[in-house]
Amino acid sequence: MIYTVTFNPSLDYVIALDALETGRINRTKKEHVYPGGKGINVSVVLANLGYDSIALGFEAGFTGKMLREMLDQSGCRTDFIHLNEGMTRINVKINAGKETEINGQGPEIPEEAVEELYRKLDRLQKGDYLVLAGSIPRSLPSDMYERILGRLEGRGVHCIVDATKELLFNVLRYHPFLIKPNQYELGDMFGKTLETREEIIAHAKLLQDMGARHVLVSMAGDGAILVAEDGTVIQEKASEGDVKNSVGAGDSMVAGFLAGYLGTGSLEKAFRLGQAAGSATAFAYWLAERESIKALLDGPADSYGL
């Protein structure tokens, strides 16, 4: 089974305007509400590809109830911990020529809720996959990722981590199955700007020296690079298309990689399905659907486990 964790999920209120004028009344051209959060994005795209997962995390208030209902409608299984105070945050994403985001804070997460999450994670079994993605809310310990991977160490759970800098550095000693920085995050980890593919590959291998098994580096319009555990490097340029939305593309890549790997056992197929899923989301107004992902694949979909 695949599990995803989203500590601070959201409802994303996405609006489009011709222009945003501060201090005045602005009227939208389009508006949508979507479930949000990096782990949730992974679960939604997995569901679109026909793979089951369980989304873990915390929810509160009427917005939390709506979040659960929307995920149910998307075919996602959830096992959220309900918080009695506060409400699941609302993030406002404004597209008015430029993308502007206003993100809510989310509810305070008490210690007893954290312990309940630990108990749920303690049920994971050998061969399960766990996706940890995104930032850690201020009400949680800053070493939550380390605590979780430490609890699961030696139990045969395959952990995928999509996080930045110290959050990522600090889990490498637990040998995560896959980590997915983008090229800017990878450079930031080493205090450098990585401009060439050779530099990106070299620094991905440094993360492997520190403990990561497979390193998947997303590069937006320049494609992606996978540095596999055995030293194999797989590269691909980005698919061609009209980019409409950058939110969730990296999460979609993680979902596609997982689906491809579980469906075929091939890292190359996993990489190419991940690349197609990430691109398809970038070309959509929300997360990619199955058919749009299949359209970007090189070869029949059943060869990718779909």
Q: pLDDT tens digits for 48-78?
A: 999 999 999 999 999 999 999 999 998 999 9
Burial class from Cβ neighbours inside 10 Å (0-12, 13-18, 19+) for residue 145 reads buried
Would you state the structure tokens that stand for residue 202, as one six-digit string? 């070299």
User: Which run of H or of E encompasses 200?
Assistant: helix 197-209
What interhelical angle do 111-121 and 144-152 show, nearest 10?
A: 30
Residues 6+ apart with CB under 8 A from 98: none
Yes or no: say if 186 and 149 are a contact pair by the CB < 8 Å rule: no
User: Which domains, ranges and CATH numbers included, belong to the chain?
Assistant: 2-6+10-18+29-304 (3.40.1190.20)
Which pLDDT score is estimated for 245? 76
User: 159 forms bridges with which residues in the sheet?
Assistant: 130
Active site residue 251: yes
184 pLDDT tier (thresholds 50, 70, 90): very high
238 pLDDT tier (thresholds 50, 70, 90): confident
Q: Which of 222, 251, 298, 302 is catalytic?
A: 251
Tens digits of per-residue pLDDT, 109-119?
999 999 999 99
